[in-house]
Amino acid sequence: VSDASTHIPVLPAETLGALSPRAGEVYLDCTAGLGGHAAAVAASLGPGGTVVLCDLDAGNLARAESRVRGAFAGTVHAIHANFADAPDHLARLGLAADMVLADLGFASPQVDDPSRGLSFKRDGPLDMRLNPAAPISAADLIAETPERELADLIFEFGEDRHARRIARAIVEARRHGPITTTARLAEIVRGACPPSRGPGIDAATRTFQALRIAVNDELGSLERLLRRIASAGQELAAGRGGWLAPGARIAVISFHSLEDRPVKRCFADGVARGWAEALVRRAVTAGESETNANPRARSAKLRALRIAGGLGQSAV
Ligand SMILES: C[S@@+](CC[C@H](N)C(=O)[O-])C[C@H]1O[C@@H](n2cnc3c(N)ncnc32)[C@H](O)[C@@H]1O
């Protein structure tokens, strides 16, 4: 599934249902990835439609762009940026999005490529940056963060109850030399945790998640994007235009509770304040056939809302 042309996105039908693309509309894909969702949306936009692709990872952005361009006669823009800044790029292009999708996290080729340092299953440099031009790698973070902060980070972003022991073991190990590979870090983390009872998840999983979130400031970027959506929604409700078109549909797919919580809060707030209406009553999850075919879909949660104004559409 690493090949862009065969990659199947998560919750494809549910996402399309929530976004309900129409001919001639403008679609912003905040997390272009391998272009799976974007290609599916583009298929409904016709030659008058516009697809704006955004990704922090230039390699993924290029893959998504070539996939969409290969099958779509409309206009395509590719922006190599953090999605929190995508609204500024849209404004610069003079566009207002009718649909926005953020399918959070990483794509399989990023994890499968050992040189990215995202996986402990294959040894590689301890990097973890989705954008290789970002200033701090996971190895830098591990080398420089004081023990207490490291423990807080692993506890908060990894929700690992062994965070303190893990941080202590990392600090002890780094006294003997820099920790520069994923296999070395995984070995230190496993050594710090009590043996697991049965075939659960690998003891290193949560620490790796925590470091990836911290290195890429994933929750900070998500919060910034949600704030941009909320303020654009409020502006539209007050009759002022912006980077979102009246009636815009917004969908977010998250993969763990740290991501889902702020999305849920922002969307509930939009409905309560009257600048949006929910498009799905509760988070949509994948069915059994999808989770059997794609284990990553197991933790996927889709939330969607419609910004006030424009044509009506009721919740499903
Ligand atoms: C799960 S993949 C998206 C897959 C895509 N929906 C598809 O169907 O192929 C997530 C993508 O988001 C990108 N990404 C993660 N955080 C980002 C951010 N803050 N800004 C822009 N792109 C981001 C990653 O580099 C990755 O390519």
- Written as one string, the DSSP assignment of 155-201 is HHHH--TTHHHHHHHHHHHHTTS---BHHHHHHHHHHHSPPPSSS-S
- Residues of the chain with pLDDT > 70, as a percent, come to 95
Q: Which two tokens stand for residue 259?
A: 């991501």
Among 225-234, 241-250, 306-315, the minimum mean pLDDT is found in 306-315
The mean pLDDT value for 121-131 works out to 93
Q: Whose CA is nearest to atom 22 of ligand 1?
A: 55
Q: Which atom of ligand 1 is nearest to the CA of 253?
A: 1
3-state secondary structure at position 80: strand
pLDDT beyond 70 at 198: no
Q: Could you tell me if the CB of 9 is within 6 A of ligand 1? A: yes
Q: Is 124 in the pocket of ligand 1 (CB under 6 A)?
A: no
Question: Hey, which of 7, 37, 54, 130 would you mutate to test ligand 1's pocket, going by the most ligand atoms within 8 Å of its Cβ?
Answer: 130
Determine whether the shortest distance from the Cβ of 270 to ligand 1 is under 6 A: no
- pLDDT of 313 reads 45
Q: What is the mean pLDDT of residues 15-28?
A: 98
65 lines ligand 1 (CB under 6 A): no
202/158 Cα distance (integer angstroms): 13
The Å distance, Cα 54 to ligand 1 centre, comes to 8
Residue 315 scores a pLDDT above 50 = no
26 bridge partner residues: 50
Q: pLDDT confidence of 246, banded at 50, 70, 90?
A: very high
116 ligand 1 Cβ < 6 A: no
CB 55 near ligand 1, within 6 Å: yes
**79 bridge partner residues:** 54
Please tell me the distance from the alpha carbon of residue 9 to that of residue 40, in angstroms, as a whole number: 9
Question: Which pLDDT score, from 0 to 100, does residue 310 have?
Answer: 61
Least confident of 64-78, 161-175, 184-198: 184-198
Q: In what order do the strands lie in the sheet with 26-29?
A: 75-80, 50-55, 26-29, 97-103, 244-254, 301-307, 276-278
DSSP state of 300: -
Cα–Cα dist 107/64, whole Å: 12
Model pTM?
0.94
286 pLDDT higher than 70 = yes
